[in-house]
Amino acid sequence: MEQRINIEQTQPETWKAMYSLSMVLSKFSLTPLQQELIKIRASQLNACAFCINMHTHDALKHGETQQRIFLLNAWRETNLFAPEEKAILALTEEVTLISQQGVTDRTYQNALQYFPHEVIGQIITAIVIINAWNRIAVSTQLQVNQA
Condensed to tens digits (0 to 9), the pLDDT of residues 50-66 reads 999 999 999 999 999 99
Residue ranges of alpha helices (H) inside 4-48 are 7-10, 12-23, 32-45
Residue 142 has pLDDT above 90, yes or no: no
123 in Cβ contact with 22 (< 8 Å): no
Domains for the chain: give ranges and CATH numbers: 30-139 (1.20.1290.10)
Query: What was the pLDDT predicted at 146?
Result: 66
Mean local confidence (pLDDT), 7-12: 90
129 in Cβ contact with 25 (< 8 Å): yes
Residue 147 has pLDDT above 70, yes or no: no
